[in-house]
């Protein structure tokens, strides 16, 4: 059918449509700027001054966003093989190191006596499910590699997982107290996902990544305060801190 189909040329002066997510690297660059701004005082400005765990986690998280940005740029230039090479490197190197280092940092946080007692269990309730969901999104992204519309949305969703900690810090830098900054960071991400879902619907797309991510953020947002102070979660936190 392909060989028999007649050639159809675009009208003179018409502009070829931009491929879906053809400029996603600019959005990833903007996301990276937000992450750098949020973590500037605690990580990027004193980079290398902290312990090895903080350094490894911060570098791998940054490289993950850079890898997604590079993949988008390469695909927009037709460099499919380099896109795949970076994707495989990210999956087999960055994914495990980033995930394990994140879980390690949760344990380190429990040993930080400078934190108020309520804070480590609260942040752990956010961080541990986030690491699990990160792995789920990447897995679904690779399972849908032959369905580009689904694949790119699963991978793009992984960047939003870093927004709550970055935005909480950024909002605090603007003078907002911790709890308002924390809730504000989740609301910001939820609104971004709602906007992405609406944009997809208008474009005729019905993909799982953004509704699934929205459900995750809303669930964690709704449960983080009551569950993180509950006896079962505090018992789990005590167990986790002694690993």
13, pLDDT greater than 90: no
Determine the pLDDT at residue 20: 63
3, pLDDT greater than 50: no
Over residues 130-189, the pLDDT tens digits come to 999 999 999 999 999 999 999 999 999 999 999 999 999 999 999 999 999 999 999 999
Q: In Å, how far are 57, 87, 229 from 47, measured between CA atoms?
A: 12, 26, 33
How far apart, in whole angstroms, are the C-alpha atoms of residue 225 and residue 210?
24
- Residue matched to tokens 């906007």: 195
Over residues 23-77, the pLDDT tens digits come to 899 999 999 999 999 999 988 988 877 788 899 999 999 999 999 999 999 998 8
Spatial CA neighbour of 132 closest among 120, 144, 140: 140
**How many other C-beta atoms can be found within 10 angstroms of the C-beta atom of residue 117?**
8
**192, 197, 200, 204 alpha-carbon torsion, rounded to 10°:** -170
7, pLDDT greater than 70: no
pLDDT band at 8 (very low <50, low <70, confident <90, very high): very low
Over residues 82-93, the pLDDT tens digits come to 999 999 999 999
200, pLDDT greater than 90: yes
- Read off the pTM: 0.89
Higher per-residue confidence, 137 vs 19: 137
2, pLDDT greater than 80: no
Burial of 10 (0-12, 13-18, 19+ CB in 10 A): exposed
Determine the pLDDT at residue 21: 75
Over residues 212-242, the pLDDT tens digits come to 999 999 999 999 999 999 999 999 999 999 8
């Amino acid at each position: 059918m392909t060989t028999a189909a007649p050639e159809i040329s675009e009208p003179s002066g018409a502009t070829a449509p931009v491929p879906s997510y053809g400029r996603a690297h600019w959005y990833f660059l903007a996301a990276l700027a937000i992450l750098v701004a949020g973590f500037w005082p605690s990580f990027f400005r004193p980079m290398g001054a902290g312990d090895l765990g903080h350094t490894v986690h911060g570098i791998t998280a940054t490289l993950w966003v850079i890898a997604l940005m590079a993949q988008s740029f390469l695909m927009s230039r037709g460099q499919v093989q380099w896109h795949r090479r970076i994707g495989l490197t990210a999956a087999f190197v960055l994914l495990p190191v980033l995930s394990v280092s994140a879980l390690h940092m949760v344990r380190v946080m429990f040993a930080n006596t400078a934190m108020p007692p309520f804070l480590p269990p609260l942040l752990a309730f956010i961080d541990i499910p986030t690491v699990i969901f990160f792995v789920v999104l990447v897995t679904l992204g690779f399972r849908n590699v032959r369905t580009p519309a689904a694949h790119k949305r699963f991978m793009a969703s992984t960047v939003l997982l870093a927004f709550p900690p970055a935005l909480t810090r950024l909002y605090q830098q603007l003078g907002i107290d911790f709890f308002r900054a924390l809730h504000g960071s989740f609301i910001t991400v939820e609104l971004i996902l709602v906007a992405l879902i609406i944009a997809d619907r208008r474009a005729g797309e019905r993909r799982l990544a953004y509704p699934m991510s929205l459900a995750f953020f809303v669930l964690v947002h709704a449960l983080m305060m009551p569950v993180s102070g509950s006896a079962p979660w505090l018992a789990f936190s005590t167990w986790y801190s002694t690993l």
